[in-house]
C-alpha cells in the first residue's frame, strides 16, 4: 500500500507542475523610452525591437513511445532469412510454448461453449493469428501500442482470409492501436458490451509495471471484460530468475552472446518502475520492468481473477513434451535443433561449450540419435520466462 500511496503522490505532483515542454515562438521585447542601457536606438531616436527566437527542445520520449518505435521498426522477414538467424530455434521454441498454452486453454473453454471470443493484448504483427484460426474461434480483437505492427497484423489477417477456401469458416476480427497501460480498451470496441472467453498477453505485460496505475489499467483491460470462467493467459519474464542471475553476477548485468540484461543497480528492487535494459539478438532492445508475481496475483483479485497455472518455460516444456501430440508439434515447428547435425550441415553456434549438455546426453547413450536440443545460450535465454493463467470467478 505504501508503494501505491507513493505513486499517487508522484502523480499529483506531476499534475501540479507546469508543462515543461518548450514551444517555438517569437518574443518581441517592449521598447523602453530614453533608456540607453536597455534599448538600442537609431539616429532618429526610434527603438530597435529585438526579436528572440527560442529553439524547440525535443520532448523526451516516454517509455511507451520507445517501445512502440522499437517494434514498429522491426521488419518482416521471410522463412529463408529467419532460418539463418542465430536464434532461429529459440524463436520457434517460444512459439511452440505459446501454441501449446493457447491450444490447451481453448480446449478448456470449448468444453462449455463453441463460439469463442478472444482478446489478443499486445498482438504485435499477428504472430498468433494462425493459432486462433486453428483454434476455430469466432471473434478476435487485436490490439497493440505499435501502429505499424497493428497494420501488418491486419494485412496478415486479410491475406490469410484470401488464401482460404471460399467455404472456410473464418473468425471475424477488429484491430485497435492503443496503449493498453493508459487507455480503456472497452471504449474502443465496436461493441462496448463485448465479453471475452480468453485474453492472451504474450511477452507484453511486463511493460506495464512502470507504475501501479499502468499495471492496473493493463489488468483492467485484460480481465474486466472476461466472462465468468474465462482465462487471462500469458508469458512474462520471471522476476525471481532475473534477480537470482543479477545477484550472482559481479556487475549490474548478465547474459551471453544472444541476450543481455542490465539493471541500474543491485539490491534495490521497487515494486513498480524497477527498470532494466533487455537485449535479445535481432528481436528486443528496449527497457522493461520487473514484475513481482505475488503482487500481480494480488492485484488480479480486484478483477475477480484467480491464479490457476504458473510454470517456468523449462517446467512447461518438461511437462508437455511427454504428450505425443505436443512432441510432434515440436518437430513440425522446428523448435529444437538436431544433434548431432547432419553431414554437410552445421550447428547454429560455433562455440563447442554451447553443446556440452548434448554431448553428455549423447555419451550416456540414453537418447536415440539424433535428438532435439538447443544451444546452451538459447536455453539460458528462454529459461528467463514463465507462463501464467488466471481464471475469472
Residue 18, φ and ψ in degrees, nearest 5: -70, 155
Q: Is 72 known as a binding-site position?
A: no
Prior bond to 357 cis, omega within 30? no
Q: Is 98 known as a binding-site position?
A: yes
Q: Is 144 known as a binding-site position?
A: yes
Q: Is 202 known as a binding-site position?
A: yes
CA–chain centroid gap for 354, Å, is 27
Q: Is 40 known as a binding-site position?
A: no
Residue 36, φ and ψ in degrees, nearest 5: -65, -20
In 3D space, the residue among 393, 372, 294 whose CA is nearest the CA of residue 92 turns out to be 372
Q: Which residues contact 70 (CB under 8 A, 6 or more apart)?
A: 284, 285, 286
Q: Is 231 known as a binding-site position?
A: no
CA distance 234 to 220: 15
Q: Is 268 known as a binding-site position?
A: no
Supply the DSSP string of 322-336, one letter for each residue: TSHHHHHHHHHTT-S
C-alpha cell at 375: 544451444
Q: For residue 377, what are the CA distances in angstroms to 257, 276, 291, 317, 382?
A: 7, 20, 23, 17, 9
CA distance 186 to 225: 8
C-alpha cell at 279: 537485449
Radius of gyration (C-alpha) of the chain in whole angstroms: 26
CA distance 378 to 358: 13
Q: Is 179 known as a binding-site position?
A: yes
Residue 354, φ and ψ in degrees, nearest 5: -65, -15
Bind-site residues: 94-95, 98, 122, 144, 179, 202, 207
Bind-site residues for S-adenosyl-L-methionine: 98, 122, 144, 179, 202, 207
Bind-site residues for mRNA: 94-95
Amino acid at each position: 500500500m505504501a508503494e501505491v500511496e507513493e505513486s499517487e503522490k508522484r502523480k499529483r505532483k506531476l499534475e501540479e507542475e507546469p508543462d515543461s515542454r518548450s514551444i517555438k515562438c517569437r518574443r518581441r521585447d517592449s521598447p523602453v523610452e530614453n533608456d540607453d542601457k536597455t534599448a538600442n536606438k537609431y539616429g532618429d531616436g526610434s527603438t530597435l525591437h529585438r526579436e528572440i527566437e527560442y529553439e524547440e527542445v525535443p520532448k523526451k520520449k516516454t517509455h511507451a513511445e520507445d517501445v512502440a518505435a522499437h517494434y514498429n521498426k522491426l521488419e518482416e522477414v521471410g522463412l529463408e532469412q529467419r532460418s539463418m538467424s542465430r536464434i532461429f530455434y529459440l524463436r520457434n521454441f517460444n512459439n511452440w510454448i505459446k501454441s501449446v498454452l493457447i491450444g490447451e486453454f481453448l480446449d478448456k473453454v470449448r468444453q462449455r461453449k463453441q463460439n469463442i471470443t478472444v482478446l489478443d493484448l499486445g498482438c504485435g504483427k499477428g504472430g498468433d493469428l494462425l493459432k486462433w484460426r486453428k483454434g476455430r474461434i469466432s471473434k478476435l480483437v487485436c490490439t497493440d501500442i505499435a501502429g505499424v505492427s497493428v497494420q501488418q497484423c491486419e494485412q496478415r489477417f486479410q491475406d490469410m482470409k484470401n488464401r482460404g477456401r471460399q467455404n472456410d469458416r473464418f473468425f471475424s476480427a477488429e484491430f485497435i492501436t492503443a496503449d493498453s497501460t493508459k487507455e480503456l480498451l472497452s471504449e474502443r470496441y465496436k461493441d462496448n458490451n463485448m465479453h471475452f472467453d480468453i485474453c492472451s498477453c504474450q511477452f507484453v505485460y511486463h511493460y506495464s509495471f512502470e507504475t501501479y496505475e499502468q499495471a492496473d489499467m493493463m489488468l483492467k483491460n485484460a480481465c474486466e471484460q472476461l466472462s465468468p470462467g474465462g482465462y487471462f493467459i500469458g508469458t512474462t519474464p520471471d522476476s525471481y530468475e532475473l534477480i537470482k542471475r543479477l545477484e550472482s553476477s559481479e556487475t549490474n548485468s548478465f547474459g551471453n552472446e544472444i541476450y543481455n540484461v542490465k539493471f541500474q543497480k543491485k539490491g534495490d528492487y521497487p515494486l513498480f518502475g524497477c527498470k532494466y535494459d533487455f537485449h535479445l539478438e535481432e528481436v528486443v532492445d528496449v527497457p522493461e520492468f520487473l514484475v513481482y508475481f505475488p503482487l500481480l496475483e494480488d492485484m488480479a483479485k480486484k478483477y475477480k481473477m484467480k491464479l490457476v497455472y504458473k510454470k517456468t518455460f523449462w517446467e512447461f516444456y518438461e511437462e508437455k513434451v511427454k504428450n505425443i501430440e505436443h512432441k510432434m508439434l515440436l518437430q513440425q515447428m522446428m523448435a529444437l535443433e538436431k544433434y548431432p547435425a547432419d553431414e554437410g550441415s552445421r550447428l547454429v553456434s560455433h562455440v563447442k561449450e554451447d553443446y556440452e549438455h548434448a554431448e553428455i546426453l549423447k555419451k550416456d547413450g540414453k537418447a536415440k540419435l539424433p535428438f532435439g536440443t538447443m544451444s546452451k545460450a538459447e536455453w539460458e535465454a528462454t529459461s528467463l520466462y514463465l507462463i501464467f493463467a488466471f481464471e475469472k470467478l
